[in-house]
Amino acid sequence: MNSAYLFRVGLGLVGLFGVTAGLSGCVGSPTYGTDKTAMEQLVDDVGSAVSIAPREPANKGTKYNPRPDLVLPPGGTQTAALVAPQASVASRENNPEWVESPEEARERLVAEADANADNPRYRSPLLAGYGTAGTMTETQKWQAFRDARQLQKGAYLDQRRLLSDPPTEYRQTQDVALSDLGEPEAKKEKRRKAEAKAARQGSSWWTPFQ
C-alpha cells in the first residue's frame, strides 16, 4: 500500500515536472520578430476565439491630421497676369515648319483625291508621272531597269542608300583578292591522283588482315 502510494506520487511529480518544463520552453521560445512568444500567441488566439466581447480596432489610438486646403492662385489683378501655357508645336496646325510624315502626306492626298472625285481636270499627285490606272510608262520602265542594273553591278558601293546597308569600308576589297582565282581545277585533280597513287604504293597486301 505504501509503495503504491509513493509510486503514484512520484509519477504525478514527474508529470508535473514535464508539464512545467514544456510550459517554460514555450514561454521562453523565440518570438520570430513579434512581441509575443508562440505560447502567448496561442493563448491570445484561443481567448479571442472564445471571447464574446467586441474587439477594439487596431488603429484606435491613431491620430489623423486634417487634410490641408487646396493652394489656389491669388485673386484680383495677379490672376489675370498669369502666363498662359505654351501651345504644342509638334503639329502642322501650330507649327508650319513641322515636317509632314509620309503617312500624313498620303492621307492628305487621298482626302484631296476623294474631294475632287467628280472633277475631270484634277489629277492626283499620287499618279503623277504614271500611265493609265497608275501603271508605269515605258520611259519609267526603262529607267527602273537601268537603276536595277546599276545596283546589280555595284554602282552604289561607295555610298549607303539604306540604313540596312553595311558601311562602305566593309564593302571594299583588295586588288590581290580580286585577282586571286584560286588553284585551278586541273592542278587539283593532278594533285589528288598523285596523293592516291602514293597511298597505294605505301600499302601492303596484308594490311586488310591486320
Q: Where are the domains of the chain?
A: 2-50, 137-171
Q: CA-to-CA distance for 76 and 54, rounded, in angstroms?
A: 56
Query: Can you tell me the mean pLDDT for 18-23?
Result: 66
Give pLDDT, residue 33: 67
In eight-state DSSP terms, residue 110 is: H
* Residue-level pLDDT at 187: 92
Output the furthest CA–CA distance in the chain (Å, rounded): 134
pTM of the model: 0.26
Which is more confidently placed, 160 or 200? 200
Half-sphere exposure of 184 (CA within 13 A, CB side): 3
CA–CA separation, 163 and 160 (whole Å): 7
* Cell 489675370 -> residue: 80
The pLDDT, as a whole number, for residue 159 is 73
Compute the distance between CA of residue 139 and CA of residue 129 in angstroms, rounded to an integer: 10
Nearest alpha-carbon partner for 172 in 162, 157, 185: 157
Q: Convert the pLDDT of each residue in 37-81 to its tens digit.
A: 777 777 777 777 766 667 777 778 888 888 888 887 776 666 667
Task: Give residue 15's identity as a one-letter amino acid code.
Answer: G
Assigned C-alpha cell, 65? 491630421
Predicted confidence band of residue 193 (pLDDT cuts 50, 70, 90): very high
Contact 47, 41 (CB under 8 A): no
Distance between CA atoms of 127 and 136, rounded to whole angstroms? 10
